[in-house]
Structure 1
């Protein structure tokens, strides 16, 4: 593990901001490091304002999309809201269909079957639209590379509006509108929206075109916040505004589906981390284990008792998903070790029997284990399908572009992608991918890195200090939870390994053994470093600060990220 201390903030800006905000200069320094270096920026940062959302009509083709929706409604056309089966896709479909249904009743939803149809726009979905007299498909979180599919739909008299955020290919589909801020010819000011975010911008544009009050959109922001968290897009700019207000909706007036999921939690306020690790996996589980439409039903249900029934079913899917995830991860680890590939520049594994619904999770687990760009393949019909995950700083999408000789179809982002190929091309692809990564990856990218905001003496950690840091939330890419480093601490004698397999490390740290200013600390998966804390040895810790609730009592604790001698 590499520890990298961020450059110190500009001292003049730090002092000025501390004075303007009336806060500790140390905290002002954390803000300056994040680009929040003036009073106006701090006001927007701490109080994200919905009025600062960009004009949706700045997005290329937005005017065409709105006109086509208005035409469909004026002509009483049937509209099919189509989306991917993951969290971003299902929240997008729930958002768009709920919004349209609030003023128009000829709307139906469609989620492709992960196993029968695969990712994105499918011919089967278009045939369903044609057979059921749908003349407009609004595709969300997919479609920007569906050139052939959109052409096929056009032959059948079906128009497409695409709301996507993935990188376009060399050619755009011949749709009525392609809403994608990553289009080369799109000058929209913010290009890091998730698919649900792009869908929200279309809803915003329709609202403006009809001169309706923006407030009608606020109840949908919980869906956008969930997609932002789950899709790991940067929580800066417009995403920060949407996530901040979406979390408020989740905490103050959650929709029935969310309430059904979180009703048993002993938490008064959910953070974006809770959304990512509690709500999102359950929404995802439906598409992974059964069908994404179950998630859409849960998200759209308004009756709490019915929502609880949906949630109970999805909880079962989630339990099954966890069990599969564990067993397949173990098999994949053994495959890498048995083939002596743990020192490769990539991890590429395949088994025909692996469940397609969890290969993305398994790829993430393998990346954590070996810290290499990773692909996990399984059988999907007569082809092989894979999920790709990357390491920080390495663009796996670009690497896959250099392997297209052996790929049937692929799409995604810098750090996550999906692809299909023919079985006979697997070994050639695997060799080419290893070759490409070997030639392009930097050695530093093969070692996990902790970015440390600042060194911090333990005596600075107080409830007030923690409260101000919490106001910097929601945290995520672009605005990560602050990580601090404290040198030469000791364990006061309570240190031990905990957990079923003693994988985790629980300690109490202080500047010296008798120091009353001590803190409980927990280090998940750090049990192997227990030797560093014994016999009064001094060691260094990298950590974030959070709260621990136990038997009605709340106290500050340190969440250890790493420790070293």
Structure 2
């Protein structure tokens, strides 16, 4: 701020409004400290100060790491019960049904869980509901279908925190239910074996800013640890969890959760994974969308996310999850082209 009281001495904008700095006196001092002590550019220092970043936290904010920011997954309520049941499913090679929401977060969460379980030798049934004919969240018909296909465990992702009747039906059929959600949960919870949701009222983890894919990733970290300790991976290579951070980053940006703390680390690391172009589905979607340069948050929020969402809005809701899990480049290109077509139709 200059002596004139106007930022950079510019008295007004193109609309004739005064161009004044938004920082209060405390913010001005923070910006000065960030610039002088941390050696940051003045404008970057002002942006960081405006976001409430303290000088000693600048390095962590600009270069967040999972090592520093990742808490113990078991701080979340019911995580221990969910981990134990998933561990048993893996060890016994059970067929696991995964029910996800029809948006980007649901598709990424379902793909995350299915990919890990398949890598451990399980067979999965992934079901994404049709928005028009099934509506939001688990339903009795889908649960009945899971039982008929031989599933013993149902896992809902990005939904399930309020699904009373479907879970009661699952209990009658002898199915165990695990919920990984992040939506606000009611005081009286539905009858699930485990309901992991940082936004349930009795969860004190402080992780309420996570999207569902972030919650699922935390669960997979817990499961990976439990399987390693039990000797399950003796003689076999465990799944590469860090390679799955591309899905967590996509869901985190597309679900518009706050990019602070652990979420920032998820996105920074996930973008690094995306640049390696190892997931055929995302590679095909980036190409068909015409994304320029290396993956950036803009691409995820405005080019990739809307195309995956288009399947759930006006097409086949399962296309997104199929795209993200396929290892077939030809299939990936076909699905990406269809999602691009659906997105253009949705825009019209």
**TM-score when scaled to structure 1?**
0.54
The structure carrying a bigger strand percent of its residues is 1
**Corresponding position: 1:142 with 2:154:** no
Q: Residue 169 of structure 1 aligns with which residue?
A: 186
Q: Closer, same or farther in 2 for the Cα pair 1:254/1:106, shift >3 Å?
A: closer
In structure 2, what is the Cα distance between the partners aligned to 1:168 and 1:102? 31
Q: Give the aligned partner of residue 100 of structure 2.
A: 83
Bigger fraction of residues in helix:
2
Moved over 4 A (4+): 1-5, 212-215
Structure-1 residue corresponding to 2:199: 182
Residues of 1 paired with 2:195 and 2:145: CA distance? 22
Q: Which has the higher contact order (CA 8 A, sep 6+)?
A: 2
Report how far residue 214 of structure 1 moved: 9.2
User: Which of 240, 263, 272 is 1:239 aligned to?
Assistant: 263
2:302 corresponds, among 261, 265, 277, to 277
Asked if 2 retains the 8 angstrom alpha-carbon contact of 1:59 and 1:188, the reply is: yes
- Following the alignment from structure 2 to structure 1, what is the Cα–Cα distance between the partners of residues 84 and 96? 14
1:224 counterpart (242, 248, 260):
248
Matched, 1:57 2:81: no
CA distance in 1, matches of 2:320, 2:88: 30
Specify the alignment match of 2:335 in structure 1: 310
Segments of structure 1 that go 5 or more residues without pairing to the other structure are: 324-565
Q: Which runs of 5+ in 2 are unaligned?
A: 1-14
Q: Distance in 2 between matches of 1:260 and 1:100?
A: 24
Partner of 1:319: 344
How many residue pairs get aligned? The number is 322
SS at match of 1:138: strand
- Report the Cα distance in structure 2 between the residues aligned to 1:4 and 1:231, rounded to whole angstroms: 32
Aligned to 1:207: 224
Aligned residue for 2:152, secondary structure, equals: strand
Q: Does 1:47 align with 2:63?
A: yes
Please list the CA deviations of residues 3-60 of structure 1 after superposition, one character each: whole Å capped at 9, or x if unmatched.
9963334344333322222123443232122122123x11111111011211111111
Measure, in 2, the Cα distance between the counterparts of 1:93 and 1:4.
Answer: 47
Secondary structure at 1:292's aligned position in 2?
A: coil
Are 1:259 and 2:276 counterparts?
no
Residues 419-442 of structure 1, C-alpha deviations (whole Å, 9 max, x = no match)? xxxxxxxxxxxxxxxxxxxxxxxx
Alignment of 1:310-389 (within 5 A): 310-323=335-348
Cα 1:258–1:214 shift into 2, 3 Å: same
| Counterpart secondary structure, 1:80 | strand
> How well do the aligned residues superpose, as a CA RMSD in angstroms?
2.2
Residue 127 of structure 1 and its aligned partner are, at CA, apart by 0.8
Contact 1:54 1:189 in 2 (8 A): no
User: In structure 1, what is the equivalent of residue 322 of structure 2?
Assistant: 297
Deviation string 1:525-548 (CA, Å, 9 cap, x unpaired) is xxxxxxxxxxxxxxxxxxxxxxxx
